Structure 1
Amino acid sequence: MTSSRGVTPIMAIFPPRFLVRPLWVGVLLLALAGCASMAPAERPVTDATEVWNAPLSDAETSLPPDPLWWQRFGSPELDRLIARAFEQSPDLAATAERVIQAEQQVRIAGSTLFPSLNVSGSSGARINQGDGSSRRSESTSLSLGANYEIDLWGNLAAGRDGAEASLLANRYDYDAARLSLASAVATSWFRLLTLEERLRVAEENLRIAERTEQIVDARFRNGAASRDELLRQQTTVLNQRASLAPLQLQFRQTRAALAVLTGASPLGFEAQTDSEALLTVNIPGIEAGLPADLLIRRPDLARQEARLQAADANVEQARTAFLPTLSLTGNVGAGTTSLFSLANPAETAGWTVALAQTLFDGGRREAQQTISQSQRLELVEQYRAAILVALQETDDALDRVQVSAGQEALQQTINGQAARTLELTELRYREGSEQLLTLLDAQRTLFQTRDQLVQLRLDRLLAAVDLYKALGGGWQPEEQALN
């Protein structure tokens, strides 16, 4: 007879009077050894008095993130794309399946706290031949058995707690995946709008260059300009045309990447963009709160905390593995000497209490305990590193929000001055009071400032998206505490 763990009970092998005292002394010593474990490592915390290095925006125009943070950009197409990504993204669907698997693991772990029941039955015939005679025997039996391991030391409960912590970690992982997916869709959408706007600006620059080419050509035919001047302007026109192809390629590639994020085929995918859509996107003010708030704002940090709680349960299981197990077994049955019949059966019933203790395993349990403790310490350090990275990401995003806003405002002024300079230079060139090189320089300056203005607008949008992501996107932890 063996226990539920496959260890032969000592009392069933040796007479009790020889082993009672040394057995319980050995069990007591092993129990004390199993209870002796290293002191738990301290969980990392943040200083509640810390503040961000980056300057904060005006609190009167800033709002804390909410779960639908992308709607504050005021882009209906972005809302549609993110909703589609949540519904159709294969990566997000795979993450959801891992949550389902973790839920079933909780059921499996919880089932060990209850008795197990099993029923078995058999019926058959046997023929024995020998010495010229033949003998036939028949039998039918039916039995019901129950087995229950008493959780003396909390080993089974620790396994259930570890499974529940792993379930929470998977749920938080799903929340983090949703946040990352929404951020990726928003980033790709704004990049697509930026490339469309850059194409529009490049085409406008091309029209300006072609218009200037007509002016130079007219002056050349009238003898007021040299052929060298005409060739230079023609070169400028060709360069502007050549600049369109790389932007068009980037636009198609970004659109394909956006399609994949939303779970759609990149073949034939279209997004509803319009002219100057980038400039109509609202850039919201975002309230960052305090650094200490990140611990309850970010699902990835909550995931690390849940994994650490699962590691605590694993350490507890490794500790209780040194202790003896106690199981109860009972069975009832009935049997007859008939085939497929239980008429007039012989009934049996019995029960067993089994106490088992592994005396020697070559150091396996001790090594497992050391591994569990080391894995817990590893998770503590990973949790601490995740907090530091979260603080850095948020502070960097805050800094970028402020810097990019100032740069865009300055670039707006530069762009206005460059447009006015080109207008005046072109007028003087028409009148013959300005050199072509001056006109070309004014053109080049305007083309560059326009393109930089569009890219600075993108920087502001991406900084806002990154800040929403760094702050957890308005995520709130489940109101479910682990035991």
Structure 2
Amino acid sequence: MYLFSKKIALASCMILLSACSAAPSEKPLINYANAYSVTLNTTAAIQIDSDWWQAFASPTLNELIQLAQQQSPDLLISAERVRQAELQMRIANATLFPSLTATASSGESRTKADGQGSERGESTRASIGVNYEVDLWGGLAANRSAVKAGFDATRYDQDAAALSIQAAIASGWFQWLALQERIVTAQKNIVIAERVQRIVDARFRNGAATAADVAQQKNNLLTQRAALLPLELQARQTQSALAILLGKTPQEFVLIAENLLAVAVPQITPGTPAELIARRPDLAAREADLAAADADIHAARAALLPGISFSASASKSASELFALNPATQASGWTLSLAQTIFNGGRLVNQRRLSEARRAELVLQYHKAILVALQEVDNALVSTDISARQEVSQQEIVTNAARSLRLSEARYREGTDDLLSLLEAQRSLFQAQDSLVQQRLSRLNAAVELYKSLGGGWNL
């Protein structure tokens, strides 16, 4: 009989230990390639620095991002979230210490029976109590681990938000510069269209042009003027968006243009796909969420097991107001064990809910890694294609400039008319406008590559 009881006790201990032990954390299985699908020319490539925007050699961009780090509303909001998570962690860490309570009271009472005199009573009491919950199964420690992992996830999310804001400022600044260049080009085209209009009008008055020619050129002039308005609108909207990112009112925010083509386009070393998981703060945040879910499962399993708490108290009491001497002293301690017998399956379902939540987070983490790899690949493709397109567009600009020089020479020699010269000028301006757009595409691709690679962040 004794041996049988011993076996039952040993089996019970094994069940309890298995119930409170945490399951190993599931991690997504990713088959990382040795390299990305696009290989860039890395002869002049640079490593990504945490101040990656300085590689564009734009003084105004450096000032804008420095200003955003000080007063961007989005960054300030994320900083407050980190503060809240830190306070939650401090609250959870309070379970490491016992709770101490103190009470004091003094008063009197009067009782009177029917037909009898009143009786008066006085009392004064002071007591102190200590209570401590023994973390026998690690449930409280698991709660602290979950909150700590949540704090880490919030910090990483803050870093990811900062990177997104920096990238948005860089893209917005380059967009505004490109719009300024395109506005200048559109204005030049309007000047050319006005000159052509005057020539056509003069030829019409001399009988060398028809009314259809006049109407066609008038329509061309109106089209050129109409094309300028959306560019001015986009420039204003882009400037206002930058103002909001920087915590400025759109009315007080003023930008001074730089030469977009003078902005450097850095060559970036992308590294390998397997390195990406430790270089992106958003992936680190999702991994921290997964760690918090593992701790929640451990805490939910520990809640199924008996709870042990220790309490002690000491008190003094006297039958006089505001006096504890002479007094009656009392002290004691209690060690209690509590086990939930029935609660409708709440604790069991809570454990199952925690396990289902972890399974979801594993899938989300898996998807986040795949999306991150896709973003890097897309950024590399865009970087490669936009660079080649800019080279082609530069050749177009060179040929358009050569055509303009030839048209000017023929016009001076009297072998070509002014309309041909003006058309050559307009072709050059349009080619230059396309070159600005291609440079903007290259800059945006570089910004996106920096962002998708983590912007110099590391775990």
- The TM-score, its normalising length taken from structure 2, stands at 0.91
Q: SS of the counterpart of 2:50? A: coil
Provide the rounded CA distance (Å) in 2 between the counterparts of 1:114 and 1:186.
Answer: 49
Asked if the contact 2:303–2:347 (Cα under 8 Å) also holds between the matched residues in 1, the reply is: yes
Residue matched to 1:150 = 134
Q: State yes or no: 1:290 paired with 2:272.
A: yes
Q: Measured at CA, do residues 279 and 189 of structure 1 come closer, stay the same or move farther in structure 2, by a change above 3 Å?
A: same
Q: State yes or no: 1:31 paired with 2:13.
A: no
Residue matched to 2:46 = 63
Q: Counterparts of 1:436-451 in structure 2 under 5 Å?
A: 445-451=427-433
Asked if the contact 2:20–2:298 (Cα under 8 Å) also holds between the matched residues in 1, the reply is: no
Q: State yes or no: 1:181 paired with 2:175.
A: no
Provide the rounded CA distance (Å) in 2 between the counterparts of 1:455 and 1:80.
Answer: 24
Amino acid across the alignment from 1:117: L
Q: State yes or no: 1:84 paired with 2:47.
A: no
Provide the rounded CA distance (Å) in 1 between the counterparts of 2:37 and 2:78.
Answer: 35
Residue matched to 1:256 = 240
Counterpart selection for 2:124 from 140, 144, 147: 140
Residue matched to 2:97 = 114
Residue matched to 1:75 = 58
Provide the rounded CA distance (Å) in 2 between the counterparts of 1:225 and 1:32.
Answer: 99
How far is the alpha carbon of 1:448 from its aligned partner?
3.7
How far is the alpha carbon of 1:223 from its aligned partner?
4.6
Residue matched to 1:128 = 111
Residue matched to 2:383 = 401
Q: Measured at CA, do residues 451 and 210 of structure 1 come closer, stay the same or move farther in structure 2, by a change above 3 Å?
A: same
Provide the rounded CA distance (Å) in 2 between the counterparts of 1:36 and 1:121.
Answer: 43
Residue matched to 2:225 = 241
Q: SS of the counterpart of 1:204? A: helix
Q: State yes or no: 1:321 paired with 2:303.
A: yes
Q: State yes or no: 1:414 paired with 2:399.
A: no
Residue matched to 1:14 = none
Residue matched to 2:28 = 44
The Cα offsets for residues 201-222 of structure 1, whole Å up to 9 and x where unpaired, read as 1112222223333444454455
How far is the alpha carbon of 1:339 from its aligned partner?
1.1
The Cα offsets for residues 215-269 of structure 1, whole Å up to 9 and x where unpaired, read as 4445445554444434433332222122111111111111101100001111231
Q: State yes or no: 1:201 paired with 2:177.
A: no
The Cα offsets for residues 331-368 of structure 1, whole Å up to 9 and x where unpaired, read as 00001111122221111000001011112111111100
Provide the rounded CA distance (Å) in 2 between the counterparts of 1:460 and 1:243.
Answer: 24
Q: SS of the counterpart of 2:313? A: strand
The Cα offsets for residues 49-76 of structure 1, whole Å up to 9 and x where unpaired, read as 53101122x2221112111000111111
Q: SS of the counterpart of 2:43? A: helix
Q: State yes or no: 1:172 paired with 2:133.
A: no
The Cα offsets for residues 142-188 of structure 1, whole Å up to 9 and x where unpaired, read as 00000011111111111111111111111101111110110111111
Q: State yes or no: 1:272 paired with 2:226.
A: no
- The TM-score, its normalising length taken from structure 1, stands at 0.87
Q: Measured at CA, do residues 71 and 33 of structure 1 come closer, stay the same or move farther in structure 2, by a change above 3 Å?
A: closer
Residue matched to 2:336 = 354
Amino acid across the alignment from 1:65: I
Q: Measured at CA, do residues 426 and 222 of structure 1 come closer, stay the same or move farther in structure 2, by a change above 3 Å?
A: farther
Provide the rounded CA distance (Å) in 2 between the counterparts of 1:30 and 1:134.
Answer: 63
How far is the alpha carbon of 1:433 from its aligned partner?
5.5
Q: Measured at CA, do residues 28 and 358 of structure 1 come closer, stay the same or move farther in structure 2, by a change above 3 Å?
A: farther
Provide the rounded CA distance (Å) in 1 between the counterparts of 2:21 and 2:246.
Answer: 53
Counterpart selection for 2:324 from 319, 338, 342: 342
How far is the alpha carbon of 1:465 from its aligned partner?
0.3
Residue matched to 1:460 = 442
Q: SS of the counterpart of 1:63? A: coil
Q: State yes or no: 1:99 paired with 2:82.
A: yes
How far is the alpha carbon of 1:27 from its aligned partner?
6.8
Residue matched to 1:481 = none
Out of 355-364 and 303-312, give the one that drifted further: 355-364
Amino acid across the alignment from 1:122: S
Residue matched to 1:480 = none
Asked if the contact 2:109–2:121 (Cα under 8 Å) also holds between the matched residues in 1, the reply is: yes
Amino acid across the alignment from 1:293: E
Residue matched to 1:380 = 362
Amino acid across the alignment from 2:292: A
How far is the alpha carbon of 1:421 from its aligned partner?
3.2
Q: SS of the counterpart of 2:136? A: coil
Provide the rounded CA distance (Å) in 2 between the counterparts of 1:96 and 1:425.
Answer: 61
Amino acid across the alignment from 1:85: A
Q: SS of the counterpart of 1:243? A: helix
Q: SS of the counterpart of 1:60? A: coil
Provide the rounded CA distance (Å) in 1 between the counterparts of 2:445 and 2:282.
Answer: 20
The Cα offsets for residues 417-444 of structure 1, whole Å up to 9 and x where unpaired, read as 23443554577679475696x7787566
Residue matched to 1:162 = 146
Q: SS of the counterpart of 1:139? A: strand
Amino acid across the alignment from 2:385: V
* Structure 2 runs not aligned, ≥5 long: none
Asked if the contact 1:146–1:331 (Cα under 8 Å) also holds between the matched residues in 2, the reply is: yes
Asked if the contact 1:233–1:440 (Cα under 8 Å) also holds between the matched residues in 2, the reply is: no
How far is the alpha carbon of 1:42 from its aligned partner?
2.9
Provide the rounded CA distance (Å) in 2 between the counterparts of 1:372 and 1:50.
Answer: 36
The Cα offsets for residues 393-428 of structure 1, whole Å up to 9 and x where unpaired, read as 001101111100110110111123234435545776
Asked if the contact 1:179–1:469 (Cα under 8 Å) also holds between the matched residues in 2, the reply is: yes
Amino acid across the alignment from 1:156: L
Provide the rounded CA distance (Å) in 1 between the counterparts of 2:12 and 2:327.
Answer: 43
Provide the rounded CA distance (Å) in 2 between the counterparts of 1:245 and 1:102.
Answer: 48
Provide the rounded CA distance (Å) in 1 between the counterparts of 2:225 and 2:444.
Answer: 29
Asked if the contact 2:65–2:169 (Cα under 8 Å) also holds between the matched residues in 1, the reply is: yes
Provide the rounded CA distance (Å) in 2 between the counterparts of 1:284 and 1:308.
Answer: 36
Provide the identity percentage.
Answer: 49
Q: Measured at CA, do residues 26 and 368 of structure 1 come closer, stay the same or move farther in structure 2, by a change above 3 Å?
A: farther
